Structure 1
C-alpha cells in the first residue's frame, strides 16, 4: 500500500475550539535498550533522543491495524481524515498532536563493534547487525535508560482512536530502530492502569476488542485474527533475542580446524542453489555444497518478513556457491515496481505489566505476497512458506524439537522461544 509522508502534527494541528480538544500526558520509561531513531542514525542525540514525529508515525500504523476496511480507498480516506495527508488532491492536516518532552535519567552506553560474536553488548548481536555491517558508523551507542513525558492532543470525536493507538504502541511498539525485535520497548504505569490492563489476560481481551472486521487476511497488517504468545521473562531481552537469532540462523558447528560455521539446518540456502546455479555446477562432482536439505525449494523464513538477503561465504565454501548477495522479495508490483518489502508481522519483545516482565510474541494478521522472486528468478508456488505439508524446516539432529512436525511456522517459533498462546 502507498505510504503517505506527513510532517509532525505539532505544526499542523487544525484550529479547534478549546472545548472540543482533549490533551492527556503520560510518563514513559524505557525498559529495553534503544538504538537509532535520530537523523545521525546510530548515535544517540542526548538533547532529544526520542522524536515525536517518529512516535506519531507508529500511532498511525497501530490505528491502521485496528481497521477492517476491505477497500484500499476507504481505508486511505478514513486514515487521512485523522492522521493527515493528501486526499483527492487536497491536503488534510493531522487532527492528532504528539509532543515528547522532559527527558531525564538518560544513560547512554557505547556499542562495541569488535568481535560481535562474543556478544559484548547489552543487546544481542543479532539485532545490532546493521551497525556491525556498516563501516561508516563511528562511535555508535545505545540509550539504555530514559524517562520522558508524552502528550497527546486530539478532538473529542477521535479520543477512542487516539488512545487505543497509543495503548497498542505502548504494548507492542517502541522507540528507535528494530522495535519489532525487542529494541526500545516502553512502559507507562498510568496509561495501563487507566485502561485496566494489569495482566496478559487483560492484554488479550483488549486486542480482541479493538480489532474490526473479520479474520480474513487483507493486504495490510491487522489486529483482527492476530495471535499473542507469552512467557514469564526469566532473563534480559538480550537473552530472548539471542534465542530468536540462534533459532533463525541455526547451522552446523565448525568442523575441526575450521573457524567458520557449517551449513545451515534450514532449507533456504539449498533452495537458492537450485534456483540460481546452472545444472553443470549443481551436478559437478567437484561441487562441495550440493543441495541436501529434504525440503528442496522452500523459503519458510520469508514468513518473518521480506526482503531476505543471503550472502554466501565463497571464500570458505568454494567457488561453486552463488557469489552475489541474493535477495528474496515479493514479486507483486505497486505502481509498476516490485514492492520489495513485506514488513514482518512478528513483534518479539519484553512487556511490563505492573511489576512483572513478560517475553511476548505478537503476530499480526496479514496476507502474504502471492508470489516471490529471487534475484529476478521466479520462485515456484511450492516455495512459499504456507506450503508446510510434509516439510521438516529445521533438520538439526541435536534439536528434534526444531522440526516442523505438522505445526505452523508461527507455533514452531513460539515453542522454540518457550512461549504459550494467550
Structure 2
C-alpha cells in the first residue's frame, strides 16, 4: 500500500457542505467528485462496461468497498456574507447568481488550506490521481463549481517520487495551455481512455480528447493575468453576461421574440427561468427532465507566479436525449451547441496571444 498526501488551498469560495448548507469538508463529497471526473476522463461508450470498471475502482453496488482510502482534513475558515465582498463586481455576482440573490449562505473562504490523503495500491491509485488532477485543474468543488466556485490549487504533495512515477504533473508551468493539454493526455492514459472516444454526442459528459481534436476549440484561457480571484472571475463573468445580452439585442433588432433567444441560451444549462420566473421545459422524452448541468465550465486557475487566470472548458456529450425539445411559452426548438461554439470562437483571436503575457 502506498500513501500520497496533497496540501491544497481554495482559491475561490467553496459552497460545500451537508444538507443544512453549513460549510464543511466531507470525504464523501470528494469521492463523488473523483468518480465523476474519472467517468469524464474515461470516455467509455459502453455504459455497462463503464459501470463495472468504476465499481472495481471506487466501490459500490452495495457489495464492494473502495480499494483506495481517502481522507480529507483541514481547519478551514468559513464566511457567510459573500454579497458584501462581491457587490461591486457584477461579473462575479452573475456567475454566483443563486448565492447572491438568495442571500447569505455559508462557504469556505479562499486561502483556506486542507490536506487530502490517498492510500492504496498502484493499480487503483493511478485512477484516483488522474481524477484528482482533473478535479483540481479543470473543475471545482461544491455548488456553482461550473461557474468558478470551489476552485483549488496544489500547494505541495508528498512523496514527490510517487507522482513522478505516474508521469503526471501537479505544478503548472508558464506555458499553461500546453501544460494542461499534455497532462490531460496523461490523465486519460492513466485511466485507460479508449483511443476512439464517444465524441461530441456521447451519452454522458466527457472531456474532449486532445489526442484527437484541436484543443484551442474546447479550452480558452484569459489573455492576461489578474492580481486576485475576484478580478479574474469578474472579467469572464462580465464577458459571459455581455455575450448573452448581445445575443438578445441582436434578436430584437431582427424582430425575433425573446422566447426564441431564451431557447438559444438554454444549452448553457437548465433550469433556466426568464421574465416572471417562467422556466424552460423539456418535452418529447419519456423521462422528466428539469435539470441539465452546463456543458461549459468556467473557473479560476493559479499561475506559477502567484497570479490568476480564468479558464473556460467545453465538455462533450448530448445535452438532451435524442428527439427531446426545449419549450418556452409557445416556442419549441431542438437543442443546438451553435451558441456555445460562438462563445468559444469569440476568444479565438485573444487566446493566441496568451504566450506573450506569460
TM-score (norm 2): 0.76
Q: What is the aligned counterpart of 1:125 among 77, 90, 93?
A: 93
Moved more, 187-196 or 207-216: 187-196
CA distance in 2, matches of 1:189, 1:222: 27
The correspondence for 1:411, drawn from 334, 344, 348, is 344
Please state how far the C-alpha of 1:63 moved relative to its aligned partner: 0.5
Superposed CA offset, 1:287-320 (max 9, x none): xx9982499835332332223222x1xxxxxxxx
Question: Does the CA contact (< 8 Å) of 1:208 and 1:224 recur in 2?
Answer: no
Is the counterpart of residue 76 in structure 1 residue 54 in structure 2? no
Q: CA deviation at 1:40?
A: 2.7
Q: CA RMSD in A?
A: 3.6
Residue in 2 that maps onto 1:221: 205
Runs of 4+ in 1 over 6 A off after TM superposition: none
SS in 1 for 2:32: helix
Number of residue-to-residue matches in the alignment? 324
Q: Which has the larger radius of gyration?
A: 1
Structure 1 pair 290/327, CA: closer, same or farther in 2 (3 Å)?
farther
Deviation, 1:151, is 0.6
Q: Which runs of 5+ in 1 are unaligned?
A: 1-20, 252-262, 271-288, 313-322, 394-406
Closer, same or farther: CA 63–112 of 1 in aligned 2, 3 Å = closer
Q: Distance in 2 between matches of 1:154 and 1:267?
A: 52
Contact 2:13 2:107 in 1 (8 A): no
Q: Which has the higher contact order (CA 8 A, sep 6+)?
A: 2
1:197-236 superposed matches below 5 A: 197-199=171-173, 200=176, 201-211=178-188, 212-213=193-194, 214-215=196-197, 216-217=199-200, 218-225=202-209, 227-231=218-222, 232-236=224-228
How far apart are the structure 2 equivalents of 1:53 and 1:268?
Answer: 44
1:100-158 CA deviation, whole Å, 9 max, x = no partner?
11x24x444441657976449xx921233223433xx6574552331111111233321
Q: Counting helix residues as a fraction of each chain, which structure ranks higher? A: 2
| Counterpart check, 1:163 vs 2:129 | yes
The one of 69, 73, 79 equivalent to 1:97 is 69
Equivalence map 1:374-413=2 (5 Å): 374=327, 379-381=332-334, 384-386=335-337, 388=338, 408-412=341-345
The answer to whether the Cα contact below 8 Å between 1:301 and 1:385 also exists between their aligned partners in 2 is no
CA distance in 2, matches of 1:173, 1:342: 17
Native 8 Å contact 1:309 1:327 kept in 2: yes
Match of 2:81 in 1: 111
1:351 paired residue number: 301
User: Which residue matches 2:325?
Assistant: 372
Gaps of 5+ in 2: 211-217
Map Cα deviations across residues 44-73 of structure 1 (whole Å, 9 max, x no partner): 3xxxx3211111111111110121321221
2:152 equivalent among 186, 189, 204? 186
* Partner residue in 1 for 2:42: 67
